[in-house]
Amino acid sequence: MRLGHERPDDDHYVAFASSALVDLRRTAYLICGDWHRADDVAQEALIRIYSAWSRIERTTGLMPYARRTVVRLLVDHSRRPWRRETTGVAVDPAPVRDQTDVVDNRILLLEALAQLPPRRRACVVLRYFDDLSVAETAAALGCSEGTVKSQTSRGIDELRSVLEQRGFTDLGLLKGVTT
């Protein structure tokens, strides 16, 4: 089955890529903790969209497709061992903290996120950073809504635990976070 006029015109593609790239690479960064890798998967997702633009636009929607591709490239199994079995996450080297006990929430949060298993981390990022619904997150991850709920809940619990272990003093950060 070949559909005609699948490709977008150049202006449309560049406009979409420009706007989507910012969000995609940030989502990817929160999931993988590595800007270079985030760029790679965001770029790959946008390249894949090009050749089936019309179909994706008509069915999945461009941004959901791009986000799903990013997540799957980072998280999901694939036939190649190095992608299928990738789990460990290295956050970019954290800046050395100063000696004044000033806690950098940003760094602590990234470190805590990196402690979560990949799919759990993706659930938290998609739900709270991308503000996706449970159903949208399930679609992005290719799993059931129940799985999203349980994984997100466990992810938040683990985040809270890790932050507390690290002496994070602003315990209100996760207070009231519901899944």
Residues numbered 82-141 forming contacts with another protein, rule: CB under 8 A: 82-90, 92, 105-106, 109-110, 113, 115, 117-120, 125, 128-129, 131, 138
Find the binding residues for another protein in span 41-70 (CB under 8 A): 41-44, 46-47, 49-52, 55, 59-60
Pick one of 54, 61, 97, 142: the residue that binds another protein (CB under 8 A).
Answer: 142
Residue 163 · residue 112 · CB < 8 Å? yes
- Tell me: does residue 77 bind another protein (CB under 8 A): yes
- What is the distance between the alpha carbons of residues 105 and 62, in angstroms, rounded to a whole number? 33
Min separation Cβ 154 and another protein, Å: 10
Q: Which of 73, 132, 134, 162 forms a contact with another protein (CB under 8 A)?
A: 73
Least CB distance from residue 101 to another protein, whole Å?
A: 18
User: Cβ closer to another protein: 59 or 99?
Assistant: 59
**Cα torsion at 22, 134, 12, 37 (round to 10°)?**
40
Nearer to another protein, 27 or 67 (CB): 27
Q: In angstroms, what is the minimal distance from the CB of 151 to another protein?
A: 8
Residue 5 binds another protein (CB under 8 A): no
Distance (Å, rounded) from C-alpha 125 to C-alpha 45? 18
Q: What DSSP assignment string belongs to the chain?
A: ---SS-SPPHHHHHHHHHHHHHHHHHHHHHHHS-HHHHHHHHHHHHHHHHHTHHHHHHTT-HHHHHHHHHHHHHHS--SSHHHHT-----PPPPPPP-SS----HHHHHHHHHHTS-HHHHHHHIIIIIS---HHHHHHHHTS-HHHHHHHHHHHHHHHHHHHHHTT---GGGSTT---
Rounded to a whole number of angstroms, the minimum distance from the CB of residue 97 to another protein is: 15
Among residues 5, 79, 96, 167, which is the contact residue for another protein, using CB under 8 A?
A: 79
- For another protein, the closer CB: 91 or 100: 91
User: Residue 143 Cβ, how far from another protein at the closest point, in Å?
Assistant: 5
